[in-house]
Amino acid sequence: MQNFITVFLISLILVSCKEQPEIENIIIKDVTIISMVGENTTIGNIEIVGTKIKSIGDVNANKLSTVIDGTGKYIIPGLTEMHAHIPTPEEGDDSYVKDVLFLYLSQGVTNIRGMLGDPYHLTLKESIASGELKISPRVYTSSHSLNGNSVTTPEEAEEKIRQYKTDGYDFLKIHPGIQLDVWNSVESTAKEVGIPYSGHVPVDVGIHRALDAQYATIDHIDGFIDGLIPKDQPFDKDGGGFFGYGFTDLVDVDLINPLVDKTKKQNVAIVPTQTLFTRWFSPTDAAQMLNEEEMKYMPAATRFAWRQGKTRLISDETYHVEQWKKFVEIREAIIKEMDEQGITFLLGSDAPQVMNVPGFSLHHEMKDMADMGIDNHKILYSGTLAPAKYFGDQDKFGSISEGMSADMILLANNPTENITHTRNIDAVFVQGQVLLKKDIHQRLAAIAQAHEEQ
């Protein structure tokens, strides 16, 4: 009887094992891996199981494996857009939201930091984190804007910040116009409840106070040009216009080094968004820019608004091409000094913004940084592992390592040799889901067609 039971149990185990399906996985073979952990590259195989990278190295395929040939190709971690804007549904229709999320993904952006929050974004973030919405970048979101109109008293600032913390926003978005007494409340309350703040530097606060307050990030290099005006130089503090453009002739470039040194000591990260100034604020004709291939992925109404906004900005009587050139040169000098001193750069382009199409604009930003002489590997780091460390999630994404989320971009060419090679995308992997080049182009064509029919 005992022998019968033993034979029966063994048979049951064998049947059970036979009925178990083989693991479905994705294997990328013989690919050059730019892991972002150090600066070394290796050629090897990557195995994806579920949402994560299971193994790197010798990987055996089974009959259920999806095998992608990576011979002669390069793979990097997915990019993070650190200054993104996420739309909200219109009358319950979220199709445009999903289009924008796909535009980011199509260009290898697997994480976005939304810079103008809404309760809808909290729901969206949860649905992505739970796996309910699979084909989407991971989302971090700011609160509603804190600005001179939304917080007019210290009490109002305190109340709203406490509520935003309770609601679950990741950080506070700071916009211009906040008065100094209100700022004092913003700063103290945020630190008390434990929520960081990022974004613009209000004029009344000024760059030195902002650095003292240890912003989590200062975006657009806002406030820095104001901070380069000598203390004994009289000026209208409200006359800076577009991010200090009006102060161009008042700047003392010798003040760049100490200001950047203070930024470093206060451990404030910078999201330059240089593409705003080389595209939106450039003298290039709006109609010419709207002929770019990527523009067809934006709605006709948006393109019209962009054309109107850019034309109005550069047609203003205060706008002069030579002054714009000098303005951009000062910004570049600041960024180069930041690079020299090892400031933490976080890649961001402010999209959708005038002439900045989601996803595509991040590649313009990388090109702008490379044109300033910033090392290509450092640029890639600013869009991969640096943001992951910023969020404290370097154990989840930002590098190609075993156990990490399978968020990667398969490229036809080496981006460390030429940063524009990040545009030559063969596939995007987002939490284990793979979007092949043909699938990306098919969806992009559908988005363009829908806008053409509007």
Within a domain: 361 = yes
Within a domain: 380 = yes
- Which residues is 47 bridged to in the sheet? 27, 55
Contact 189, 221 (CB under 8 A): no
In this model, does residue 8 exceed pLDDT 50? no
- Which residues is 428 bridged to in the sheet? 409, 435
Within a domain: 121 = yes
What pLDDT shows up at residue 39? 81
- Average pLDDT of the chain is 93
What pLDDT shows up at residue 309? 95
**Closest listed residue to residue 399, CA positions, set 413, 418, 380, 415:** 380
Within a domain: 374 = yes
**Which pLDDT tens digit goes with each residue over 157-203?**
999 999 999 999 999 999 999 999 999 999 999 999 999 999 999 99
What pLDDT shows up at residue 29? 95
Within a domain: 177 = yes
Within a domain: 358 = yes
Domain tally, the chain = 1
Within a domain: 447 = no
In this model, does residue 24 exceed pLDDT 60? yes
**Which pLDDT tens digit goes with each residue over 170-181?**
999 999 999 999
In this model, does residue 21 exceed pLDDT 50? no
pLDDT class for 11, splitting at 50, 70, 90? Answer: very low
What pLDDT shows up at residue 17? 38
- Domain containing residue 116: 78-398
What pLDDT shows up at residue 59? 84
pLDDT, average across residues 138-147: 98
**Which pLDDT tens digit goes with each residue over 215-269?**
999 999 999 999 999 999 988 888 999 999 999 999 999 999 999 999 999 999 9
CA angle 90, 91, 96 (to 5 degrees): 30
**Which pLDDT tens digit goes with each residue over 286-302?**
999 999 999 999 999 99
Spatial neighbors of 231 by CB under 8 A, at least 6 apart, are none
Contact 454, 300 (CB under 8 A): yes
Q: What are phi and psi of 57, to 5 degrees?
A: 130, -130
Within a domain: 370 = yes
Tell me, what CATH number does 93's domain have? 3.20.20.140
What pLDDT shows up at residue 237? 87
**Which pLDDT tens digit goes with each residue over 405-452?**
999 999 999 999 999 999 999 999 999 999 999 999 999 999 999 998
pLDDT, average across residues 122-142: 94
In this model, does residue 80 exceed pLDDT 80? yes
pLDDT, average across residues 310-324: 96
pLDDT class for 23, splitting at 50, 70, 90? Answer: low
pLDDT class for 16, splitting at 50, 70, 90? Answer: very low
Helix (H) or strand (E) holding 410: strand 408-411
pLDDT, average across residues 22-26: 74
